[in-house]
Structure 1
Amino acid sequence: MNYVRTAMLIAFMTALFMGVGLLIGGSNGMLIALFIAIGMNVFAYWNSDKMVLRMHRAKEVDQRNAPEYYRIVEQLARNADLPMPKVYIIDNPQPNAFATGRNPENAAVAATTGLLNSLTREEVAAVMAHELAHVQNRDTLIMTITATLAGAISMLGNFAFFFGGNRNNPLGIIGVLAAMIVAPFAAMMVQMAISRTREYAADRRGAEICGNPMWLASALQKIAGGARRVVNEDAERNPATAHMFIINPLNGQRMDGLFSTHPSTENRIAALTELHREMGGASPQGGNGPWGRAGDTDAPRGPWS
């Protein structure tokens, strides 16, 4: 089903891209936009994961240089019956994490040093389970392609601003306004809607993978607090990737409103608390997961790097 949704999203974003091209440059502008959209879709499919990891200066680690962190991801991948993803650490004090990759066979998960140093072992496991849920649900492809196309549509807005559109087209001024305002806004709304609906599903599946919804609820509360206090400079420079993180890394995005890339943390915690009650108030393993007792807040955290 996610393949169908991905195809529909790509078709919509491509049509939007072409429509703005038509208004800016007439039929030639639409044709150019079509070729650009095709090229960007192909490029995004094969390379968007590498681009995102490079933007955030992520470094790949393994069981030799980050044994605890790597083993957690390895155990979770087995729990979810997923191939082992590549594992990355981002040297950034803001607690956060994301997943990327075009499919489960070519996936990667990344966590910041801020997250690994401030969360318990159970909370880290819950966060990485959430990211593996995105991989299992095949959200990572659609999220990275959405980011790429949203950036491309915003690029058209800049093009329209500097070149003024097609002067032979009576709708040229409309095209300029659409490219500068309407199209980037529409792309942003699609990007946000995609992220917000999928975060709830990934929270639920991630809680099932790690075995205890309250581990993730506790982690979300800590990450949200850290994201408000600590500026993520790489994310601020690349805001189109904000929807990929477990918590919005951009400062000031705290409300579950129209312009938020994520549901509010309070709403997500409430949903996880309800799931906890549905599961009988304990994990399916009787309150004990593969990382020790659920209530052990002094669980070891390192070595992470």
Structure 2
Amino acid sequence: MLGNWLKTSILMAGIVVLFGMVGAALGGAGGMLIALAIAGAMNVYAYWFSDKAVLRMYNAREVDAQSAPKYYGMIKELAANAGLPMPRVYIIDEAQPNAFATGRNPENAAVAATTGIMQILSERELRGVMAHELAHVKHRDTLISTISATIAGAISSIAQFGMLFSGGHNDREGGVHPAVAILVMILAPIAAMLIQMAISRSREFEADRGGAEISGDPGALASALQKIHNYAHRVPLETAEQHPETAQMMIINPLSAEGIKGLFSTHPQTEERVARLMAMAV
């Protein structure tokens, strides 16, 4: 738990520094101060509200024991196995098979799965997937992932508006040289993706291991990962394509891996994840 809080603190500090660097590059000392103020406000917002923002972004609908008895009952059983409070349970009406967890702590957690994942997986495989997501909740990874998704999106947005800050002036006129602004526009989102990569990949291995322990069936999760991987890259998830900073929250990378997005995968190789799980099963 201490390790995750340390990682969260480092993430927040890194985000503040990155915001400051973008502000300084685009607006000098004044721009840096404005960017630092925005970064501080965004960190506060992300801590309290990023989970709701992500669920709203994906048009997730909350379900209960009456509206989705089997799915809700599965989560309730797995949460009890993990020693966790019952999370809020959501369904996302999307064809791509995927799932994620969010929330700042186990007491305010939520898990979500797409209709696509429910259609292609067996009940045993789906149980393994949702156990993986509850492992994220148990390890308190959800705070880190939702904050990084929210702030990375903000960094990308502020970089996109970089040329507006430059005002079309060159550096001799007191503005920012357009070449510098363009460079910042390119590098800032890449830096944000690198932060996400560093945090996300190790978390997935730990959540696989934890999910296998919660479900008691590592082979089911391994089979589910193979199926999801095979489908996910053939079936687009438009919200993830429009907001690639949220991709690291999913159990399998939901992006089409075209262009620069494919160079910065936030997930380890599915083959390695499956191999580790099958070793646990043996």
TM superposition score category, shorter chain reference: over 0.9
Partner SS state of residue 198, structure 1:
helix
Contact 2:166–2:175 under 8 Å retained in 1 = no
CA deviation digits over 1:132-189, x for unaligned, max 9?
0111111111111111111121122212133327845687557524421222111111
**Superposed, which structure 2 residues align to 1:126-145 within 5 Å?**
126-145=128-147
* Counterpart secondary structure, 1:229: coil
Matched, 1:203 2:203: no
Secondary structure in 2 aligned to 1:109?
strand
Cα deviation for residue 238 of structure 1 reads: 1.9
Deviation at 1:220, TM superposition (A): 0.4
Q: Which residue in the other structure is 2:122 paired with?
A: 120
Using a 3 Å threshold, how does the CA distance of structure 1 residues 252 and 16 change in structure 2: closer, same or farther?
Answer: closer
Task: Find the counterpart in structure 2 of residue 155 from structure 1.
Answer: 157
1:87 is matched with which residue?
A: 89
**Displacement after TM superposition at 1:214 (Å):** 0.6
Give the RMSD, CA atoms, in angstroms: 1.7
Question: Is contact 2:166–2:176 with CA below 8 Å preserved after alignment?
Answer: no
Task: Say whether residues 1:103 and 2:108 are aligned partners.
Answer: no
TM-score of the pair, normalised by structure 1? 0.85
User: Distance between the aligned counterparts of 1:151 and 1:172, measured in 2?
Assistant: 24
Matched letter for residue 237 of structure 2: N
Q: Which has the higher contact order (CA 8 A, sep 6+)?
A: 1
Q: Matches of residues 272-287 of structure 1 in structure 2 within 5 Å? A: 272-276=277-281, 281=282
- Greater helix content: 2
**Contact 2:27/2:165 (8 A) holds in 1:** no
Number of residues of Structure 1 aligned to a counterpart in Structure 2: 274
Q: Structure 2: any 5+ residue segments left out of the alignment?
A: none
Matches within 5 A, 1:256-295: 258-276=263-281, 281=282
Equivalent of 1:183, from 188, 192, 195? 188
The percent identity for this pair of structures is: 58
Whether the 8 Å contact between 1:59 and 1:90 is mirrored in structure 2 is yes
The superposition leaves residues 232-265 of structure 1 with CA deviations (integer Å, 9 ceiling, x where unpaired) of 1222222211110001111237xxx852121111
Rounded to whole Å, the distance in 2 between the matches of 1:147 and 1:178 is 22
